[in-house]
Amino acid sequence: MSNENNSPNASAGMALAAVRERGPLVHCITNYVTVNDCANALLAVGASPVMADDISEVADIVRISGALVVNIGTLNARTIRSMKAAAAEARRRGIPSVLDPVGAGASSLRTKTARALASRGGFAVIRGNASEISTLAGDAGNTRGVDSAKAVAADGIAEGAVAFAKALALRTGSVVAVTGKTDVITDGAAVYAVRNGHPLMPRMTGSGCVLSAVTGAFVAAAAATGTDRAVAVASAIAFVGLAGELAAADAERLVRDGDASAGTSTFRTAFIDRLASVSPDALAEGAKIERLA
């Protein structure tokens, strides 16, 4: 299927082109598990990463950045204060920010911190899996570690995802993205589904973290070009998913016996490579974004 010019898929290509042209600086306060992947992913997509989490410098760094990404994957008392200060500075300056509530629902510290960050408002985007987002939306949640345990319906959308994503978007003013087999993105009114991605992605750590970091680059570019924010988020998600699809094919060629499932680390290398090599045209062609409402 060739994607129409005025479709969200064509917009995805333009959104990627804007990231590559502008090379936004993205300030990440993120976990130490996948921070290296986030930095390399941002460089691959054409953006520049800066990681800084001391309370006495986060405001300085936010001010020179095109976007802020807050990821609570290995939060602690010290960095929680920095996350809040950075988010407040971004809000004051009108710099778009992304919240990745890793593991919300798995501990009361995570749930409480994610809710405090989300409800203070001002995040341009909140992106998580179904358990995390439903926890933020008010559900008691049943996050298992950092994985989602939500049931998935036949269309690949986690049960109830459209409803709780809309509820959270309306309450916070954020674009909310629930990622899983099929991803749902909403600003409370418009709803998009994205059907890109590959089963190998959750078998490397950090595919979600990388997506949140890359989303930061897309919303930075969107703020500069005046692109609709929900479309920019859907574009980032389609882009990362398409890179995963292509990387899985690369891994299949590279590993023994052509068995890609035997190559989770080969896949990881190919995935970052593909973030560097997917072109705007290839994204416009390969994106599977559908407007649901």
Binding residue (CB under 8 A) for a copy of itself from 263, 280, 283, 286: 263
Q: Can you say whether residue 209 is alpha, beta or left, with left for phi > 0 and alpha for psi between -120 and 50 degrees?
A: alpha
Both tokens assigned to 285: 């062609």
Query: Residue 158 Cβ, how far from a copy of itself at the closest point, in Å?
Result: 18
Residue number with CB closer to a copy of itself (78 or 120): 78
Binding residue (CB under 8 A) for a copy of itself from 108, 140, 151, 226: 108
Query: Residue 25 Cβ, how far from a copy of itself at the closest point, in Å?
Result: 5
CA 42 to mean position of chain CA atoms:
12
At 51, the amino acid letter reads M
Whole-number Å distance between alpha carbons of 137 and 79: 24
Binding residue (CB under 8 A) for a copy of itself from 10, 19, 25, 223: 25
Residue number with CB closer to a copy of itself (18 or 275): 275
Residue number with CB closer to a copy of itself (184 or 246): 246
CA 133 to mean position of chain CA atoms:
13
| Window contacting a copy of itself (CB under 8 A); options: 8-16, 120-128, 199-207, 237-245 | 199-207
255: contact with a copy of itself by CB under 8 A: yes
- In Å, how far are 1, 134, 234, 284 from 4, measured between CA atoms? 9, 33, 16, 9
At 21, the amino acid letter reads E
| Window contacting a copy of itself (CB under 8 A); options: 32-40, 180-188, 235-243, 283-291 | 32-40
208: contact with a copy of itself by CB under 8 A: no
The secondary structure element, H or E, covering residue 149 is none
Query: Residue 75 Cβ, how far from a copy of itself at the closest point, in Å?
Result: 6
Instruction: Kindly tell me the burial class for residue 1, based on how many C-beta atoms sit within 10 Å of its own C-beta (0-12, 13-18, 19 or more).
Output: exposed
